[in-house]
Chain A
Amino acid sequence: MGLLSDPVRRRALARLVLRLNAPLWALPVAWLERTMRSIGLEVYTQSFSRKLPFPDETHERYMVSGTNVYGILRAPRAASTESLVLTVPCGPDSANSQAVGLLLALAAHFRGQIYWAKDIIFLLTEHDLLGTEAWLEAYHDVNVTGMQSSSLQGRAGAIQAAVALELSSDVVTSLDVTVEGLNGQLPNLDLLNLFQTFCQKGGLLCTLQGKLQPQDWTSLDGPLQGLQTLLLMVLRQASGRPHGPHGLFLRYGVEALTLRGINSFRQYKYDLVAVGKALEGMFRKLNHLLERLHQSFFFYLLPALSRFVSIGLYMPAAGFLLLVLGLKALELWMQLHEAGVGPEEGGGSPGPSASLLPAQGVGLASLVAPLLISQAVGLALYILPVLGQHVATQHFPVSESEAVVLTLLAIYAAGLALPHNTHRMVTIQALDRGWMTLKLVALIYLALQLGCITLTNFSLGFLLAATMVPAAVLTKPQGPRPLYAALLVLTSPAAVLLGSLFLWRELQEVPLSLAEGWQLFLSALAQGVLEHHIYGALLFPLLSLGLYPCWLLFWNVLFWK
């Protein structure tokens, strides 16, 4: 599949690289240091290294080491208690060649002004987001992701806000802004408003999710386009990936945005002076701030750059979905107790208490097995792929990342075969209503998990609830089993991921064919596992340790004998 699938080719490439005795790509650290020093900044470097859990197929790297370079512009008349950051992520394939030039030009311009009340840090990171994470961890003196980074020599105070820049060409037709960060965290809406204000002032064309702003809100087109933008934002936020360096800043309480320059085929182009003016205006406004940005919303959804939906409006939707789960659980509870009371009244008076207790005991005992086994499968899904990748590559002609993905899929599918095995473990004659108890427990478990997920990452919680709740509620052993089985498989977490990939591409107006979609799905799985290990993204553990076992319980309910 990839360049490194064939172990023979891999060895050949490794030998070639060694023979060249040169890194494939590296940041010109010495030149950058010299240039920044000549501008008048205080320049420092930081080295970091990280061994990835498995080689990344898209970037072809395993042992990552690099150097970050940053220059600090000290405020001329203020104590260095606060700072702002302008960061440009550099990497071998990242399309960011022009942004470094703009950063240096801005640094030189800013150095000549006397109105700075905060220090400004100009940060260039290697291996884009890995370098950013290393720098942030060293700056805040923490170690959340197992990165080995050298400590920073120069610091500048608490970071108030950060702007990340990605430019691949020296003229742009539009500026695209990204707000979604790691685990669905968002910056304060004021920062986005700031950017939008300067877009309007400078006459720049600014886009959100790559879509232009709808002009006509009175007819149906405007709201439809807004809905598309909103859905794109929901999908992006649900994936929990940091879509740019800003996503990593958000975790440390620093409001941040990523601006991407796009060069399309439009006729009217803006040069870097226009982009620089917008950035200068943003930094000057941030300079005037006395407190961290906190007045506006932290939880919102954006149908357009100038409109937003606040959490008070969209949270009830998720609440109603979870209420469905609660109501179904209540109904099952009542049914269980009615059925429990029925045989009790039929029997003699000394009988009732004696017969009720063993029935309940049997019910609970038959629950423990499915629960434990589902959770064990979930645990296996979480641990085994990365742990067993080397064993897999020895036995099969696949690369490590492919091994990880295929192991994931294999364990996922193996879970589907479980109900036939679970029942062999239950020796006691389980009551016919045993499945109701299991379903009750599964419903409550699902409601709890989805509730917790919705509170922190609304998009993920809503997406999963909208797909899993109907199937979970409808599942029962009686009735058309193949139909229910198909419904349940289609709403399992993996299928939701696949479906949302197709939907995402469809909304971006770049639809996928089935084969392409499948490839994208596989790479998304690999990315998810990788990002969990290197940034601490929570999508992979949530799905494998939490939602997949829950879904397996419903699968067990469906195949209850």
Chain B
Amino acid sequence: MAAAYFLNRSATALAAFLLLSFGSSAASQIEDQAEQFFRSGHTNNWAVLVCTSRFWFNYRHVANTLSVYRSVKRLGIPDSHIVLMLADDMACNPRNPKPATVFSHKNMELNVYGDDVEVDYRSYEFTSPRRSDHRIPSGDCSSSFSPLLNVSCLFCFHSMTLYNELLFIIDTCQGASMYERFYSPNIMALASSQVGEDSLSHQPDPAIGVHLMDRYTFYVLEFLEEINPASQTNMNDLFQVCPKSLCVSTPGHRTDLFKRDPKNVLITDFFGSVRKVEITTETVSLQQDSETTDGSYKEDQTEEELIEPLKYAEQLPVAQIIHQKPKLKDWHPPGGFILGLWALILMVFFKTYGIKHMKFIF
């Protein structure tokens, strides 16, 4: 009857979270110390945390997302820079024996739905804004379903220079299918399972009656709990989290679109909003950025000139990059006219050749 562990088969897409970080115009000519001060280039971190699962038995997906929310807040990103989307309300579900709580560890050790949780898009406000382009998947885990944000949408983000570097983590069945299609630059992606594998849940709680966490997120969170704002752990350590022996599925990652080497990328670049403070007694003289000032001055002077019409940046040939599956036309059964025509033909055939030759049938 029941398998050894609860399979994630019927879930909708699990928590997926993107971290957008905006670039800053980093280059300033000051001393090395100050230059090192601004080394990472991540001065404006955003976190988008999405849980697309509804219904009581997907309690653990909401618990996943809220746990990551908690870690990300602890590492410094403020609520104003976090977009938290939860598709269903577990804390106030009538089936919750402990209302107004969402636990992420069994025996109710840790309530992740505390006093200061700010949910931006909740339950049934959470519908897909542009239905034609991307659907929120519902139903079985299928490989390569389009998520909340389409891959070409990410490309739009890049061409509009909306992000500097993007970390994409997803915990769902066949998670690798989500990042296989990416082609925008500066994206690093992690997923909890390969195509053809299911992501499994971690531990059921007998008092609440559902599973509380998923394995991959559980071990990622254990890892993140050891990170503090000053830690120097890099992305390679994050890739090692949850080997197959613990997670049963094989987590995967993709770094070919990312410019920097993952071992040079700090975890806190993405997960925290680290405000670096260095106290110095020397004065740092900031040189005027002549280029930018000249540029803006020039703009004022050349106002009367014809401004070239603005157009979008050169787009990559999308159709060549994404293999388009030929769209299947719906098959309609033949209409009444064709059926009648065939009936007429058959009748004429039989009349011509005479029935007595067919006596064994008629």
Contacts and interface: CB of A to CB of B under 8 A. Distances in A.
Interface string A55-87: 000000000000000000001111000000000
A306 B95 contact: no
Interface string A264-287: 000000000000000000001001
Contacts of A287: 95
B1 A306 contact: yes
A310 interface: no
Given A306-B1, A341-B359, A77 B94 contact: yes
B1 A117 contact: no
Contact of B1 (A113, A115, A197): A197
Interface in A176-233: 193, 196-197
A75 B2 CA distance: 29
B217 to A, nearest CB: 22
What bracket does the count of chain B residues touching chain A fall in? 10 to 19
B97 A115 contact: yes
Contacts of B55: 290
Interface string B151-170: 00000000000000000000
B91 to A, nearest CB: 12
B360 interface: yes
Nearest to B56: A288
A115 B359 contact: no
Contacts of B243: none
Contacts of A78: 94
Nearest to B95: A117
Nearest to B96: A115
A76 B94 CA distance: 8
Which of A75, A76, A114, A341 has the most chain B CB within a 10 Å cutoff? Answer: A114
Interface string B347-360: 00000000000011
A114 B1 contact: no
Nearest to A200: B1
Contacts of B359: 337, 341
A103 B95 CA distance: 22
Interface in B81-139: 92-97, 99
B124 to A, nearest CB: 15
Contacts of B95: 115, 117, 287-288
A327 B312 CA distance: 74
B99 A114 contact: yes
Interface string B1-17: 11000000000000000
B223 interface: no
Contact of B209 (A75, A76, A193, A284): A284
Nearest to B207: A115
A160 to B, nearest CB: 14
Contacts of B56: 288, 290
Contacts of A117: 93-95
Contacts of A113: 97
A116 interface: yes
Contacts of B94: 75-78, 115-117
A196 B1 contact: yes
Contacts, number: 36
A334 B361 CA distance: 8
B299 to A, nearest CB: 60
B57 interface: yes
Interface string A306-332: 100000000000000000000000000
Given A78-B94, A115-B95, A193-B1, A288 B360 contact: no
A306 B92 CA distance: 37
A284 B96 CA distance: 12
A159 to B, nearest CB: 18
A334 B360 CA distance: 7
Contacts of A288: 56-57, 95, 209-210
A115 B59 CA distance: 15
A76 B97 CA distance: 11
A114 B209 contact: no
Nearest to A306: B1
Contacts of A334: 360
A290 B210 CA distance: 14
A199 to B, nearest CB: 11
Nearest to B57: A288
A486 B110 CA distance: 79
A115 B92 CA distance: 11
A287 B95 CA distance: 8
Nearest to A337: B359
Interface string A111-135: 0011111000000000000000000
B163 to A, nearest CB: 37
Nearest to A287: B95
B289 to A, nearest CB: 60
Q: By CB atoms of chain A within 10 A, which of B56, B95, B210, B360 has the most?
A: B95
Interface string B201-223: 00000000110000000000000
B2 A197 contact: yes
Contacts of A75: 94
A77 B93 CA distance: 8
Contacts of A77: 92, 94, 99
A75 B96 CA distance: 12
Interface in A508-559: none
Contacts of A341: 359
Interface in B48-94: 55-57, 92-94
A116 to B, nearest CB: 7
A267 B92 CA distance: 47
Contacts of B99: 77, 114
Contacts of A337: 359
Nearest to A196: B1
A536 B239 CA distance: 66
A454 B99 CA distance: 50
Interface of B: 1-2, 55-57, 92-97, 99, 209-210, 359-360
17 contacts: A76-B94, A77-B92, A114-B97, A115-B96, A115-B97, A117-B93, A117-B94, A193-B1, A197-B2, A288-B56, A288-B57, A288-B95, A288-B209, A288-B210, A306-B1, A334-B360, A341-B359
Given A77-B94, A287-B95, A306-B1, 17 more contacts: A77-B92, A113-B97, A114-B97, A115-B94, A115-B97, A116-B94, A117-B94, A196-B1, A197-B2, A284-B209, A288-B56, A288-B95, A288-B210, A290-B55, A290-B56, A334-B360, A337-B359
Shortest Cβ-Cβ A-B pairs, 4 listed: A78-B94, A117-B94, A77-B94, A115-B97
Interface of A: 75-78, 113-117, 193, 196-197, 284, 287-288, 290, 306, 334, 337, 341
